[in-house]
Amino acid sequence: MHIQQLYTSCLSEAAYFIASDGEAAVIDPLRDIDTYMQLAAEHNVTIKYIFETHFHADFVSGHIDLAARTGAPIVYGPDTEAKFKVHIAKDGEEFMVGKLKITAIHTPGHTLESTCYLLHNEAGEPHCIFTGDTLFVGDVGRPDLFSGNLSKEDLAAMMYDTLQNKIKPLDDNIIVYPAHGPGSSCGKSLGPETHSTIGAQKATNYALQEMTKPEFIKTVTTGLNTPPVYFPINARINKEGYDSLDTVMTTGMQPLSVEAFNQKMSEGVWVLDTRPSTVFTNGFVPESISIGLDGRFAEWAGILLPYDQPLVLVTEPGKEKESIVRLARVGIDNVQGYLEGSFEAWQQAGMPIDLIIDIEADEMAMDLPHDPLMDIIDVRKPGEFDTAHVKGARSFPLDTLSDPLNVAMIEDDHNLYVHCAGGYRSVIAASLLKRHGYHNLRNVLGGFGKIKEEKRIPIVHPDKVKI
């Protein structure tokens, strides 16, 4: 028996590869399927089943491409409605993978079709359960995403019954393998681990503690942040189907000369720069949007980039394919090529360039008493801002800065000091502001982490002001 968790930090997503006696199954695959094909070859097995725990909202699954490549059926749980061929498992239906038995357990709550898969080892004993977005480490799946006409309270009620009747009766020693870990927006308080046990979750997971159904519904529906705007788009893509990744790669992997790249820009194609944020600020193609591969790239791309907007890329040499693949993971398939020779080619051709001024927190501290036009723009999430922020700072969460109406509330004649928590999001924000025509920008290196170490900068807490 071989069970392998394939964790993608950028999306906080876990796929699984299971192999036994010449056969294999893949659970919740990402769109780039080569990894699963390579694993099958390494273990000398044939992929027999592709199991999906539900229609994912936070990434585009590789189920369709993997089925086309292997001939394996795509298995979903009860109440599934898809526009492509699937095997809809009955609650309790069993599937053999080599000497292993996998049982489908219908667990509605996160979505109607949500289904967990209980794996029995070669001896027939329950060994682990793949819980999708039903049960996380420390949390359960939020009930307010892709739910059709049902309210979040309706789905939360289903989740309560699922946990009471399907999850809690399981043996304590069964390993829990969820679809997501910390940082995912599919729950509200996921723990730091990417696997656990049923017993540990019964002891520590707030959603598995004793409470009435009304208490549970209130608990799981309170404190939910607004889900990323691309979630319903990805859920629809997973339900309706998509172009093969090979087709997307053929279009995207076209090297463009400086002249051809400039022509694309003149036609209204947007420039996405995936180089590290620390490199981007030193020089970039004007009006480029910076989303570096060194952070939560796919997530921010899905949130900030219009899905109907064609793109061309500026990447570090050799990072073109990675950039396109990671965009495709969230359904952004409209890349029309990349700048051959990267930014250096653009610069050497004598084309116009732009830059963003980086400053240290101590420089900000020195400017603070002397700059009447200083405007501190905090692009962290509202919860981060509410916990502690610079006195007088204005909250403009990064996910709001693609909306011109929100940006219009920032004075264009002020000196903007932009920061986030550590420096990644602030560069994205600064690039968006540049694109909107704001140029008096300062990117604060190290973000709030460095700012709060600077004693001359006053920090506001919920219950006190520290000067």
Domain that holds residue 372: 357-466
Percent of the chain at pLDDT above 70? 98
Give, in order, the Cα–Cα distances in Å from 399 to each of 73, 74, 264, 300, 403: 38, 34, 26, 8, 9
The per-residue pLDDT for 341 is 97
Q: Supply the CATH number for residue 217's domain.
A: 3.60.15.10
Give domain status of residue 334, yes or no.
yes
- Condensed to tens digits (0 to 9), the pLDDT of residues 176-204 reads 999 999 888 777 778 889 999 999 999 99
Q: How far is CA 432 from the centre of its chain?
A: 20
Query: Which residue from 345, 351, 275, 344 is spatially nearest to 313, judged by alpha carbons?
Result: 275
pTM: 0.92
- How many domains does the chain contain in total? 3
* Residues 281 and 331 reside in one and the same domain: yes
| Torsion sign over Cα 100, 104, 109, 110 | positive
Average pLDDT over residues 228-248: 93
For the segment 436-447, what is each residue's pLDDT rounded down to a tens digit? 999 999 999 999
**Spatial CA neighbour of 458 closest among 367, 365, 383, 381:** 365
- Positive/negative CA dihedral, 161, 166, 167, 170: positive
Percentages of the chain per state (helix, strand, coil), in multiples of 5? 30, 25, 45
Same domain, yes or no: 269 and 331: yes
Strand order in the sheet with 270-273: 255-256, 335-339, 311-314, 270-273, 289-290
Give tens-digit pLDDT for 3-31: 999 999 889 999 999 999 999 999 999 99
pLDDT in tens, 362-402: 999 999 998 889 999 999 999 899 999 999 999 999 999 98
pLDDT tens for 133-187 read 999 999 999 998 866 678 999 999 999 999 999 999 999 999 999 999 988 877 7
Q: Give the CATH number, domain containing residue 374.
A: 3.40.250.10
On whether both 120 and 255 belong to a single domain, the answer is: no
One domain, residues 102 and 216: yes
Q: Does some domain include residue 238?
A: no
pLDDT at 467 over 70: no
> Are 150 and 222 in a shared domain?
yes
Quote the Cα angle for 28-32-35, to 5°. 80
DSSP state of 191: -
Residues 252 and 343 in one domain: yes
Please give the single-letter amino acid code of residue 328: A
Neighbours of 201 (CB within 10 A): 27
Are 228 and 250 members of one domain? no
Separation between Cα atoms, residue 196 and residue 171, nearest integer Å? 13
- 53 part of a folded domain: yes
Looking at the domain assignment, is residue 209 inside a domain? yes
In this structure, what are the phi and psi dihedrals at residue 281, rounded to the nearest 5 degrees?
A: -65, -25
**Domain final residue, candidates 207, 233, 259:** 233
Tell whether 254 and 135 lie within a shared domain.
Answer: no
pLDDT, mean over the chain: 95
Are residues 437 and 320 located together in one domain of the fold?
Answer: no
Q: Is residue 465 over pLDDT 60?
A: no
- pLDDT of residue 348 exceeding 70, the answer is yes
Q: Show the tokens assigned to 128.
A: 């682990």
